[in-house]
Each structure stands twice: as structure tokens, then as C-alpha cells.
Amino acid sequence: MELIKVIILGVIISILSVLLKQIKPEYSLICIIVGSIILISYILSGIQDIFNYFSTIVNKTGLDNSMFTTLLKIIGVGYLIEFSAGVCIDSGNNSIADKIIIAGKVLIFALSLPIITNLFNMVMELI
């Protein structure tokens, strides 16, 4: 049921954006940004259950909490980069979107280095 609400809201925002583009093109981008923020805030309101589930898994497996935190940061960066690049593409700035995506990939790689190092150390202990 939640997915249907998100889809309907997204379609309404898209239709409103197209109508505004014909009347006042400068308001179309504002509509997309505000609508996207509303959609994201609606989606994030249900994310606490997911965090609790992952936290339970981490506690049961005995993994380090810093790994869980790093993984959440990586996921968050990915979503923020995708959102930012999408806004740039919608506004016609594809080259800026490409630079944001490259910066995001570099940041994700940098954030994942502790996980890669930890994994490498675990493999070395097994050998």
C-alpha cells in the first residue's frame, strides 16, 4: 500500500512539472526538487524498521558496529549521489551530473577501504 502512495505522488509531481514547464519553465525544476524532497522524506519515515533489522543481524553475528555504520554511510552516499545527479540531469546539466557521480564513486571507494582491509585480514587469518 505504501508503494502505491509513492507511485501516485510521483505521478502527480511529474504531471505538475510538465504542466508548469509549459506555463513557467523556471518553476518546473522547483516543483521537481520540492516533490523529490517530499517523496524522500516520506520514504525515510519508514526506514527505522530497516535499521533495527540490520542492527539485530549485526548483534547476532557479532560483527563490529563500525562495519555496519560504514555500510550505512556507503548506502546513504549512493542515494544522495543518485538524487543529486538526477536533479542535475532534470535541469539539463548532464556534465555536472557526471562529475557528481564520479565524486560519489570515489567517496564510496574511500569509505569502503576499511571494510576491504578487514575482509583481507580475515582471509589472511584463514590462510
Residue 23 lies in a domain: yes
CB 100 within 8 A of CB 85: yes
- 20-74 tens-digit pLDDT: 988 888 888 888 889 888 888 888 777 777 878 878 888 887 777 788 888 889 9
- 86-127 tens-digit pLDDT: 888 988 889 999 999 999 999 999 999 988 998 888 888 887
The parent domain of residue 83 ranges over 62-127
CA distances 83 to 8, 16, 21, 61, 79, Å, are 19, 19, 20, 33, 6
Grid cell of 95 as nine digits: 556534465
Residue 52 lies in a domain: no
The verdict on 66 and 21 lying in the same domain is: no
The verdict on 3 and 29 lying in the same domain is: yes
The verdict on 42 and 75 lying in the same domain is: no
- 6-15 tens-digit pLDDT: 889 889 988 9
